[in-house]
Homo-oligomer: A and B are copies of this chain.
Amino acid sequence: MITVKEVAEMLNMTEHTVRFYTDKGLVPSIKRDKNNKRLFDDESINWLTGVKYLKESGMSIEAIKEYVNLCLEGESTIPQRYEIFLEQQRKAHVQLEEAKKRVQFMDQKAEHYYQILNKVIPDNMNPGEWRKESQIVASK
């Protein structure tokens, strides 16, 4: 049984956000101790972890809430829940591709600035020149 602070650190969220999510009902299994403090057991940590992933893959708080409600309704909602995950799976794959492009972009720009600072090439780093530069790099 761990506290808000601990679970926040564990999942790399702020304490405020953890409380925000629990207050919205996104962690139905959460408990309270005799002093009304939030306590997370393994089940609650799993819920919160799932919520975090769903959120990061683009679901709104409201949509996550609906998913949680479906879970609480029981097995009859499994087909709907499956549809939700298919959609989130699709989004996660799109996000992965976009993340790869960003890495490529940043790697290229950082490398370019490095070369300028080492007098390898002249300054044409302004974004106005970026496409040109990208084409040069891409054609290498």
Contacts and interface: CB of A to CB of B under 8 A. Distances in A.
A31 to B, nearest CB: 12
Contact of A95 (B82, B102, B109): B102
Instruction: Tell me how many chains of this kind the complex includes.
Output: 2
Given A95-B102, A96-B103, A109 B131 contact: no
Contacts of A100: 96
A9 interface: no
Contact of A106 (B45, B88, B126, B129): B88
A89 B57 CA distance: 21
Give the bracket for the number of chain A residues in contact with chain B.
35 or more
Contacts of A129: 43, 46
Q: Is the interface of A mostly helix, strand, loop or mixed?
A: helix
A130 B29 CA distance: 13
5 contacts: A47-B127, A50-B130, A57-B106, A71-B125, A85-B106
Given A53-B101, A71-B127, A78-B116, 8 more contacts: A29-B128, A42-B128, A43-B127, A49-B127, A71-B126, A78-B125, A82-B114, A93-B106
